């Protein structure tokens, strides 16, 4: 049975929504959703993923249940900073990633900057 933790974490002065599904598995995976989407986009993959991984996910700024930016524009770099904040707060030292659309680009860039995490 999966233990689900949900809430908000702070990154760059914004409240970002997250969910962690702990299944008692040895491996963990971080899910990256696409643009104009939310981390719930992966719900149909949960039956398979939960057999193999503890699942970590969050909604980017202005997506899902996360706070919208108050002024200015959305930037890829902001999302990478938010990913680093989330990873530092919640994920184990090593983990896997899975990204959809823009989330694949974010995951690839994060992996390029922090290859020691994988």
Go through 40-66 and write b for each residue having 16 or more CB atoms within 10 A of its CB, e for each that does not. ebbeeebeebbeebbbbbbbbbbbbbb
For 9-59, what is each residue's pLDDT tens digit?
999 999 999 999 999 999 999 999 999 999 999 999 999 999 999 999 999
Let me know: does 64 contact 16? Beta carbons within 8 Å.
Answer: no
Q: Is the pTM of this model over 0.85?
A: yes
Let me know: does 80 contact 106? Beta carbons within 8 Å.
Answer: yes
Which CATH number, 3.90.550.10, 1.10.8.50, 3.20.20.20, 3.40.50.1820, labels domain 3-117?
Answer: 3.40.50.1820
Helix axes 76-90, 102-113, angle to 10 degrees: 60
For 11-20, what is each residue's pLDDT tens digit?
999 999 999 9
Ordered by start, the domain boundaries in the chain are 3-117
């Amino acid at each position: 049975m999966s233990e689900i933790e949900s809430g908000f974490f702070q990154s760059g002065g914004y409240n970002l929504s997250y969910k962690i599904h702990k299944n008692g598995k040895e491996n963990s995976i971080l899910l990256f959703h696409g643009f104009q989407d939310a981390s719930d986009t992966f719900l149909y993959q949960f039956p398979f993923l939960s057999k193999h991984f503890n699942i970590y996910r969050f909604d980017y700024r202005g997506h899902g249940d996360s706070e919208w930016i108050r002024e200015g524009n959305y930037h890829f770099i902001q999302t990478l900073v938010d990913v680093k904040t989330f990873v530092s707060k919640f994920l184990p030292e090593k983990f896997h990633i899975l990204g959809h659309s823009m989330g694949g680009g974010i995951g690839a860039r994060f992996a390029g900057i922090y290859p020691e995490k994988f």
